[in-house]
């Protein structure tokens, strides 16, 4: 299997299981590779780590929920796989430049 195809498979798994507490070990097992090789190939192909991709996917789903639901910030964080509300807010603010609540109010 080519590295490009493998990265596509990794992305598929991340997109399907973003809400789960998926570790690099679990991801490697699901896509049949070692975690160090997976991390190396993924970063070489995409420029980011699988963990960074997972955070991006989670935050994208959170952004959608903030504008399309009335769930609380804590509920949304849990729903996208980031159960620690303070950490979720910190990640969201770092990625979007505003807190989840500020984002919701602006959109």
For residue 61, which phi and psi values (nearest 5 degrees)?
-65, -35
96-107 pLDDT tens trace: 999 999 999 999
Residue that is written with structure tokens 């690099």 in the block: 24
Fold classified for 54-106: Arc Repressor Mutant, subunit A (1.10.10)
- Helical H segments across 1-107, by residue range: 3-16, 24-30, 35-46, 50-68, 73-79, 85-96, 100-106
70-97 pLDDT tens trace: 999 999 999 999 999 999 999 999 999 9
Ordered by start, the domain boundaries in the chain are: 3-53, 54-106
Q: Please tell me if the domain spanning 3-53 has the same topology as the one spanning 54-106.
A: yes
Rounded CA gap, 69 and 13, in Å? 25
Find the mean pLDDT for residues 25-47.
94
Q: Which two tokens stand for residue 33?
A: 């590779």
Residues 6+ apart with CB under 8 A from 87: 77
48-64 pLDDT tens trace: 999 999 999 999 999 99
Architecture (CATH level 2) of domain 3-53: Orthogonal Bundle (1.10)
């Amino acid at each position: 299997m080519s590295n490009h195809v493998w990265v596509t498979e990794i992305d598929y798994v991340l997109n399907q299981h973003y809400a789960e507490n998926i570790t690099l070990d679990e991801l490697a097992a699901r896509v049949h590779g070692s975690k160090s090789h997976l991390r190396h190939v993924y970063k070489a192909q995409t420029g980011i780590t699988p963990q960074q991709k997972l955070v991006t996917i989670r935050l994208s789903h959170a952004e959608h929920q903030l504008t399309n639901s009335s769930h609380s910030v804590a509920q949304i964080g849990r729903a996208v796989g980031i159960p620690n509300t303070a950490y979720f807010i910190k990640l969201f603010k770092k990625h979007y430049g505003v807190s989840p609540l500020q984002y919701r109010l602006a959109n």
